[in-house]
Amino acid sequence: MIAIIDYGAGNIQSVSKALAHIGCEAFITRDKDKILKADGAVLPGVGSFGDTMDTMNEYGIKDTVIEYTKSGKPFLGICLGLQLLFPKSEESPDAEGLGIFDGSITKIPSGEGLKIPHIGWNSLDIKKNDGLFKGIGKNPYVYFVHSYFLNASDRNIVSAQTEYGVTIDAAVEKGNVFATQFHPEKSGETGLKILRNFADIVNG
């Protein structure tokens, strides 16, 4: 059973529907005990870094997420859910993130022909052909919606990158913690395969 962590993000229902579509049992909750007892957890993300951290602190979810990531059970962050795993974001300089990993979250520089936010399909350069990307083709297309991007300090955690004016660390993984900047729940069959891979990790 997978807990989808509820702090009011707009894409929670789409994540829930995608998991249901692949036959994965999941439930939406912000209850600490239910989250910690779940076999796996997903932190979706739509919104601003600072507002989201304020809400997570208000609901007591921040400490719960940190505790869960240390439990050894599989955890997946999606979009803003990836960025929140890092200490800070240029979007909200005064906000303190979860600090699970280290790296910089900065605004995508505007350039000729580039629209910000970055919305649409981009191909991935997969660095690790296991974990979330087991059985995924070499350069799959996935769906992005974001204005800020990750540059991870530890290059060993980067499992996929994409290009949009700059090189973007599009997915990370270390131990039981996985995260994607793109939205697997909106990325067609490739995204569903990624979610199936996460469900398989949860199920051992």
Please give the positions annotated as active site: 79, 183, 185
* Phi, psi values for residue 199, rounded to 5°: -60, -40
Q: Which helix (H) or strand (E) holds 3?
A: strand 2-5
**Pairwise CA distance, residues 181 & 149, whole Å:** 8
In the chain, the amino acid numbered 66 is I
Give me the phi and psi of 55, to 5 degrees please.
-65, -40
Residues with Cβ < 8 Å from 47, sequence gap 6 or more? 9, 10, 80
